[in-house]
Amino acid sequence: MAILDQVLQQIDDDLPQSLDRLFALLRIESISTDPAYRERCAAAADWLAGELTTLGFDAAARPTPGHPMVVAHDQTAPAGPHVLFYGHYDVQPVDPLTEWNSPPFEPKIETAADGSKRIRARGAADDKGQLMTFVEACRAWKAVAGKLPVNVSILFEGEEESGSPSLEPFLKANAGELRCDVALVCDTGMWSRERPAITTMLRGLVGEEMTITAADRDLHSGGYGSAARNPIHVLADVIAALHEKDGAIAIPGFYDGVGEIPAEVKAIWDSLDFDGAEFLGDIGLSIPAGEKGRSVLEMIWSRPTLEVNGIFGGYTGDGFKTVIASKASAKVSFRLVGDQDPDRLRDLFQDFVRKQVPADCKVEFKSHGGSPALRLPFDGPFLQKARGALAAEWGEDPAIVGAGGSIPVVGAFKRLLGMDSLMIGYGLDDDRIHSPNEKYELSSFHGGIRSWARVIAAFAE
């Protein structure tokens, strides 16, 4: 039996143990944005470094001012390229906890109505299940061949879900060690349950928080109501002013640098037969909310957004309280496309908001990072080899797609290390990432492991 077939057989035979290991990682509550979970993030990093050391990697969890980076190397391949695999071990907060049907950090296998199986836990799809597909592929290669077919370095980040504050300094400080021929980034999705995908476009991201202060204290709403300005009303007016009635973003200059997608990309996207009605129908909606005249696929892949992610102020506890709060806040994010400049957009946003706020109120801003949009080549030699490997595994040519989400590391790899990335992942749109009841299909996990085994074999040829 050819060696790759033996590796694939080994992956199939070892699947129950692979799941046990994934479950051990999923049990660690590595929520990066909440300081209460700092020690759990360190525990996840240590667990990964331990696993990789067991596999023969030279691996360590390295401290940063935030959460540790796991770095590992195995450079024993006789020839072939050197790849850097990237994933993130941190996860999003689990709130609202009451919406979960089972505890988020007690992973379990569920069987769907159609008989398919899925892994249910926070981080199952984003990104622990995905990063473990690569680790398990390496394990199978080592078990069968005693070595990997290509030289492999690994970088696991613990701050991806909270704006990656330590990433750039870490890449700069370790550029020589981390620069490889290509980066493999496993944090994206498939086109469908049966058809794999390679992602070549990502949107950028800007995060902003605004707090409006009116009176210098909370007030009785009978004693002061209508005379004293209510900051929640001001905030609501500001938020309402951010969009036009036709769905466009109303901030002057916001669309500078957006541009239209190139004809060749449009032709590929048109051939995908995306069904916008089905996409919205799956989440219980039917009316596209974005810019009039744009398709749903454009709205999520090639147009910018401005979304309010959270709004708070006043009394929100049980019962009722007649109060006019002193302050009201909102967390806002923009998704960027084309050449939109994160810093400029932040300035435009702040200017726009300041103009809406009455003279006797004040507004303060807190920034949560930013990264520009990204377009990768879709004809490189690594992409072509990966394409063949994925087609062999899934029986369908991978779709070349865009993604609505953001993965800051991909831009940083290009800018700081001069390295292109190949974005291959096995998530599905209905995985509920960032939301209660996150899941990862068993077919994604199993097929993902088999896919990486084939991809690194193809790179060695």
Binding site for ligand BES (CB under 6 A): 126-127, 160-161, 163, 187-189, 205, 403-408
Residue 164 region by backbone torsions, left for phi larger than 0, else alpha for psi between -120 and 50, else beta: left
Q: Could you tell me the smallest distance in angstroms from the CB atom of residue 123 to Zn ion?
A: 9
Bridge partners of residue 185, in order along the sequence: 86, 423
Q: Could you tell me the smallest distance in angstroms from the CB atom of residue 165 to ligand BES?
A: 10
Token digits of residue 307: 């979304």
- Cβ proximity to ligand BES: between 74 and 441 the closer is 441
The amino acid occupying position 19 is L
Q: How far apart are CA 410 and CA 160, in angstroms?
A: 11
Stretch of residues binding Zn ion (CB under 5 A), selected from 181-189, 227-235, 260-268, 386-394: 181-189
- When asked if residue 74 is in the footprint of Zn ion (CB under 5 A), the reply is no
Q: Which of 29, 157, 187, 393 binds Zn ion (CB under 5 A)?
A: 187
- Cβ proximity to ligand BES: between 74 and 90 the closer is 90
Residue numbers 103-142 binding Zn ion by CB under 5 A: 126-127
Whether the CA torsion 354, 357, 363, 368 is positive or negative: it is negative
Question: What does DSSP say about strands 327-336 and 374-375: parallel, antiparallel, or unpaired?
Answer: unpaired
Are the CB atoms for 5 and 457 separated by under 8 Å? no
Picked from ligand BES, Zn ion, none, the partner binding residue 90 (CB below 5 to 8 A depending on kind) is none
- Cβ proximity to ligand BES: between 57 and 301 the closer is 301
Whether the CA torsion 113, 119, 120, 123 is positive or negative: it is negative
Whether the CA torsion 316, 319, 320, 323 is positive or negative: it is negative
- Cβ proximity to Zn ion: between 164 and 329 the closer is 164
Picked from Zn ion, ligand BES, none, the partner binding residue 205 (CB below 5 to 8 A depending on kind) is ligand BES
Instruction: Find tokens 């960032």 and name the residue.
Output: 434
- Cβ proximity to Zn ion: between 29 and 127 the closer is 127
DSSP-assigned letters across all residues of 419-445: --EEEE--B-GGG-TTSTT-EEEHHHH
What's 249's DSSP letter? B
Q: Could you tell me the smallest distance in angstroms from the CB atom of residue 187 to Zn ion?
A: 4
Q: Could you tell me the smallest distance in angstroms from the CB atom of residue 339 to Zn ion?
A: 24
Question: What does DSSP say about strands 197-202 and 69-74: parallel, antiparallel, or unpaired?
Answer: unpaired
Q: Could you tell me the smallest distance in angstroms from the CB atom of residue 428 to ligand BES?
A: 10
Q: Which of 434, 166, 439 has the alpha carbon at shortest distance from 309? A: 434
Are the CB atoms for 311 and 239 separated by under 8 Å? yes
Picked from ligand BES, Zn ion, none, the partner binding residue 163 (CB below 5 to 8 A depending on kind) is ligand BES
- When asked if residue 159 is in the footprint of Zn ion (CB under 5 A), the reply is no
- Cβ proximity to ligand BES: between 196 and 408 the closer is 408
Residue nearest to ligand BES (CB): 405
The contact set with Zn ion (CB under 5 A) reads: 126-127, 187
